[in-house]
Amino acid sequence: MTVAQRIAEEVRPFLEQLEASPDAVFVTDRHNRLVAWNRSVERLLGYGPNEAIGMSCSALMEGCDGSGNRYCSEHCPLVDMAGRGEVVRHFDLRLRPKDSPPFFVDVNILQLAAPPPHHFYLVHILKPSDRELRPQVVREEPEAPPRSAIQSSRESPDARIRKLTQREVEILGLVAAGRTSAEIATLLHISTLTVRNHTQNILDKLELHSKAEAVAFAFQKHLI
């Protein structure tokens, strides 16, 4: 297991034992940077440790959900969940390998506690999935916001609102309607993690700190 020099010494022996594991394993820190990479993940994805270590996980593999929406970003929802002490459950992910078409993997996350300033590491265990990539089907999205909401966001004098994508305006409208992340995921045929990712992007773009603030802001600006 190739391990970054800056990794906490307390977890280094455990990670080094994963070098010979038949499971593809990589590890990220709380800044979403790759800090460990074993031989099995190198064989699976084609990236060597020199290409992976120190890189942003999202930038290297461009993880997406089944609908092609970006699952991974610099504001990783897994990091947010781990920071709150929440359990990260099993999920599937479409990754971009180095020299072949994207494919799905099953992902399990093991959280490792570490002393400050590291706090925790996320061990990603990948197994190839038999799920196939399917062509995107254009469908009418249920409970989509009225066209005026999209127009209002594009024409708003507030530059923060103009940064929102159509999907983010849609999700903000559903949040305002009292929908949970799981309900929004079902309605829009995306994963719950993707909904959380979009929600975090909304908060970042609007420079707010909670969904309640985002809803109040949207009503104040006549966006919804």
Q: What is the pLDDT of residue 92?
A: 84
**Mean pLDDT of all residues belonging to the chain:** 83
Q: How confident is the model over 174-199, as pLDDT tens digits?
A: 888 788 888 888 888 888 899 999 99
- Residue 136 is assigned to a structural domain of this protein: no
118: domain range? 2-128
Q: How many distinct structural domains can be found in the chain?
A: 2
Looking at the structure, tell me whether residues 111 and 17 fall in a common domain.
yes
Residue 95's domain is classified under what CATH number? 3.30.450.20
Q: In whole angstroms, what is the distance from residue 168 CA to residue 52 CA? A: 31
Q: Calculate what percentage of the chain has a pLDDT beyond 70.
A: 89
At 67, the pLDDT band (50, 70, 90 cuts) reads: low
Looking at the structure, tell me whether residues 56 and 113 fall in a common domain.
yes
Predicted TM-score of the model (pTM):
0.59
Looking at the structure, tell me whether residues 10 and 119 fall in a common domain.
yes
Looking at the structure, tell me whether residues 37 and 95 fall in a common domain.
yes
Q: How confident is the model over 125-179, as pLDDT tens digits?
A: 999 887 655 444 444 444 555 546 667 777 778 888 888 888 898 898 888 878 8
Residue 170's domain is classified under what CATH number? 1.10.10.10
